[in-house]
């Protein structure tokens, strides 16, 4: 299944459809032809989009399993957002709301949140429950980067 996300051009505000396999690439706005950088913010993934996103990813993917009612999840959110910016072009960051996507939470055995899963080529490379600083999350993504 082909999947794409819509990104606003920072130069002209035009909506550009970015195929999942190009989220970590640099591109060009279809309207103004200015450069569009790789994804630098977390994406909200759903049961409908999740598999397409992780299978198409050319880079490691950090998945943040969270819920709106979870205080530690809300505390981790700024770190997760900054991680996405820090790792733009080298990793993708997805957020999965476990209340809206219980089958995904079950698939990965999520029993406590926040819960972070690193995927490489669609396979689990690392998983950890609990708060973590951005520097540690970055290490998870960079481990095995040359593999």
- Residues designated catalytic: 70, 73
Place of tokens 């995904």: 104
| 128 in Cβ contact with 74 (< 8 Å) | no
């Amino acid at each position: 299944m082909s999947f794409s996300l819509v990104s606003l051009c920072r130069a002209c505000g035009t909506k550009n459809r970015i195929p999942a396999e190009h989220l970590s690439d640099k591109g060009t706005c279809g309207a103004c032809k200015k450069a569009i950088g790789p994804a630098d913010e977390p994406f909200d993934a759903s049961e409908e989009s999740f598999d397409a996103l992780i299978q198409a990813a050319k880079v490691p993917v950090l998945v943040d399993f969270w819920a709106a009612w979870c205080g530690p999840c809300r505390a981790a959110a700024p770190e997760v957002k900054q991680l996405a910016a820090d790792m733009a072009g080298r990793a993708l960051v997805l957020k999965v709301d476990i209340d809206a996507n219980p089958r995904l939470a079950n698939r990965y055995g999520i029993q406590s949140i926040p819960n972070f899963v690193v995927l490489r080529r669609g396979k689990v490379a690392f998983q950890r429950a609990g708060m973590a600083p951005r520097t540690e999350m970055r290490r998870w993504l960079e481990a095995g980067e040359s593999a």
